[in-house]
């Protein structure tokens, strides 16, 4: 098969990591990869936040990413989640994947330890200098406790293999600022499903999406329409999915999306690693209703 899209644009799925009794289910990872290839998804992020990277060991992270690349067989780009709040650990992860065939790395802002802007700059600079792989910055202050400012993104954009940002604040005013500081060629990917289409209207190149785990065909179509400037048609799809965009975060990601994938029959059980637990019973009817509204049940 032929790769259908340029790297780092369009509908990129933040892939869940299927588990059975808390252990990684590689057979179901293969099925999900095949599902996304058939659906027209433009790239896969393997073991990002939605893939439960923080509760997988380094060895497990690397194995899942390598197996995902193997299952993709060149049909779809695989982006590796390689972030850590320890720079040394992020470098180890990145180096372990240097020969894996991944298209690039997604590296989250260091979480919990709250570095300064200079600390974040030096963190990403050190990672980028250890590899030739393209690097995507990932800013999600609601999870990390730190906010990578547009000015710092601009400094980082001067490093040749730092080529993109996943901006998950949902703040659309960030996009023109990042383009101003980092340049028009710097790739802006929304990490917020509910404002993803709006960011593309403003010149963003795509969405790294949780909803895409469920509505892969629709998300691919929506992004293709948006990239072609057909925003009215894209908006019709987006509105039908908006209930998922917003309600897949009623509890900590990926608890709702894993339960929804289980409800759709995409995975055999909604198993997660502690401290995450199965979606609370009180929210299950809500997610079922949103799947029905989106035409997925």
| Integer Cα distance of 200 and 183 in angstroms | 16
**Which residue among 111, 121, 166, 263 is the active-site one?**
166
The domain limits of the chain are 10-230
Binding-site residues from annotation for pyruvate: 50, 208
Q: Is 262 marked active-site?
A: no
Q: Is 138 marked active-site?
A: yes
The DSSP 8-state label assigned to residue 179 in this structure reads H
Of the chain, the end-to-end C-alpha distance in Å amounts to 29
Residue-level pLDDT, tens digit, the chain, 297 residues: 233 344 699 999 999 999 998 899 999 999 999 999 999 999 999 999 999 999 999 999 999 999 999 999 999 999 999 999 999 999 999 999 999 999 999 999 999 999 999 999 999 999 999 999 999 999 999 999 999 999 999 999 999 999 999 999 999 999 999 999 999 999 999 999 999 999 999 999 999 999 999 999 999 999 999 999 999 999 999 999 999 999 999 999 999 999 999 999 999 999 999 999 999 999 999 999 999 999 999
In terms of DSSP bridges, do strands 78-81 and 19-20 run parallel, antiparallel, or are they unpaired? unpaired
Binding-site residues from annotation: 50, 208
DSSP per-residue codes, 4-69: -S-TT-EEEEE----EETTEE-HHHHHHHHHHHHHHT--EEEESSTTTTGGGS-HHHHHHHHHHHH
Q: CA-CA distances (angstroms) from residue 178 to 107, 154, 188? A: 17, 7, 8
CATH class of residue range 10-230:
alpha beta
């Amino acid at each position: 098969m032929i790769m259908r899209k340029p790297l780092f644009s369009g509908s990129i799925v933040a892939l869940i990591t299927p588990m059975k009794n808390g252990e990684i289910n590689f057979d179901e990872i293969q099925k999900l990869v095949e599902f996304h290839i058939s659906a027209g998804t433009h790239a896969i992020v393997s073991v990002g936040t939605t893939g439960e990277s923080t509760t997988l060991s380094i060895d497990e992270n690397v194995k899942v990413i390598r197996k995902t690349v193997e299952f993709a067989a060149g049909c779809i780009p695989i982006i590796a989640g390689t972030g850590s709040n320890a720079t040394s650990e992020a470098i180890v992860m990145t180096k372990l994947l240097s020969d894996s065939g991944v298209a690039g790395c997604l590296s989250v802002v260091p979480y919990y330890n709250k570095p300064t802007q200079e600390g974040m700059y030096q963190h990403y600079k050190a990672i980028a200098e250890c590899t030739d792989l393209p690097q995507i910055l990932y800013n999600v202050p609601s999870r990390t406790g730190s906010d990578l400012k547009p000015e710092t993104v601009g400094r980082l954009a001067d490093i040749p293999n730092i080529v993109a940002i996943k901006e998950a604040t949902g703040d659309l005013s960030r996009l023109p600022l990042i383009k101003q500081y980092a340049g028009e060629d710097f790739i802006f990917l929304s990490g917020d499903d509910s404002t993803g289409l709006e960011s593309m209207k403003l010149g963003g190149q795509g969405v790294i999406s949780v909803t895409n785990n469920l509505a892969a065909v629709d998300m691919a179509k929506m992004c293709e329409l948006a990239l072609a400037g057909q925003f009215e048609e894209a908006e019709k799809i987006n509105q039908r999915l908006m209930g998922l965009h917003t309600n897949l975060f009623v509890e900590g990601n990926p608890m709702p999306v894993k339960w929804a994938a289980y409800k759709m029959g995409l995975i055999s059980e909604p198993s997660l690693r502690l401290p995450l637990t199965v979606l609370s019973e009180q929210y299950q009817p809500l997610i079922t209703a949103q799947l029905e509204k989106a035409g997925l049940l």
